[in-house]
Amino acid sequence: MLKLLGLSGSPSVKPRCSKTLIAIEMAMEFAGKFNPSVSTEIINLRDHDVQFCDGRNPEEYEGVTQEIIKKIQAADGLLVATPMYRGSYTGILKNIFDIIPNDALAGKPVGLIATAASDHHYLALEHELKPLLGFFHAFVLPGSVYINNDHYSEKTLIDVGIIDRLRQLGEGVVRLYEHLPQEALGASGPVIIRKVLTT
């Protein structure tokens, strides 16, 4: 059974007002409909008190932070969604990538969703998130979904083209997982020995 995990990086504090959360929920629903054996879960990072990265080993984090790390490690595939602020993804999402182990995403299919007020930062998906996931040796779907405010009405996603792209993304993560040979990861990264600083 494919465990598909969604990460919503929106810091929106208003209930049910996160366009990012609305989008990832729809993509996850499409994935589940495409293959009913898929197990889906969404972590809305805004709802969790995740510790800030402070350089310690990932296994040393505690509480909900450790629970999220373990869920990411246990996932077979991911959908990652973020608003675009100042041309980049959010700080709470970046913090997650800072605390997980280097091999937490290796060999896993990942689909990307971004939301923004306009189309100005469309290429941030290509220039910001895809290289980051490449560092983790994840298989990122070539096609991502970028959504602007005009695609919504009263917090409802109404653009049929965007809705269909979310369907393609959700289904695509499942399809890629079903066909991924783990031996196709390519060259491993350099071994980085973590040094413990003492005072």
Residue 125 confidence (pLDDT) above 60:
yes
Structural domain contains residue 189: no
What is the pLDDT at residue 114? Answer: 96
pLDDT in tens, 18-69: 899 999 999 999 999 999 999 999 999 999 999 999 999 999 999 999 999 9
What is the pLDDT at residue 150? Answer: 86
Structural domain contains residue 196: no
Structural domain contains residue 198: no
Residue 146 φ then ψ, to 5°: -115, 125
Q: Name the average pLDDT for the chain.
A: 91
The predicted model scores a pTM of 0.91
Can you give the residue range of the structural domain that contains 135?
Answer: 3-184
Structural domain contains residue 111: yes
Q: What is the domain-level CATH number for residue 90?
A: 3.40.50.360
Structural domain contains residue 62: yes
What is the pLDDT at residue 183? Answer: 67
Structural domain contains residue 136: yes
pLDDT range class, residue 155, cuts 50, 70, 90: confident
Structural domain contains residue 197: no
What mean pLDDT is predicted for residues 111-129?
90
How many domains in the chain?
1
What mean pLDDT is predicted for residues 152-170?
92
Output the DSSP codes for the chain. --EEEEEE-----STT--HHHHHHHHHHHHHHHH-TT-EEEEEEGGGS-PPPP-S--GGG--HHHHHHHHHHHH-SEEEEEEE-BTTB--HHHHHHHHHS-TTTTTT-EEEEEEEESSSTTTTHIIIIIHHHHHHTT-EE-S--EEEEGGGEETTEE--HHHHHHHHHHHHHHHHHHHH--GGGS-SPPPP-PPPPP--
Structural domain contains residue 193: no
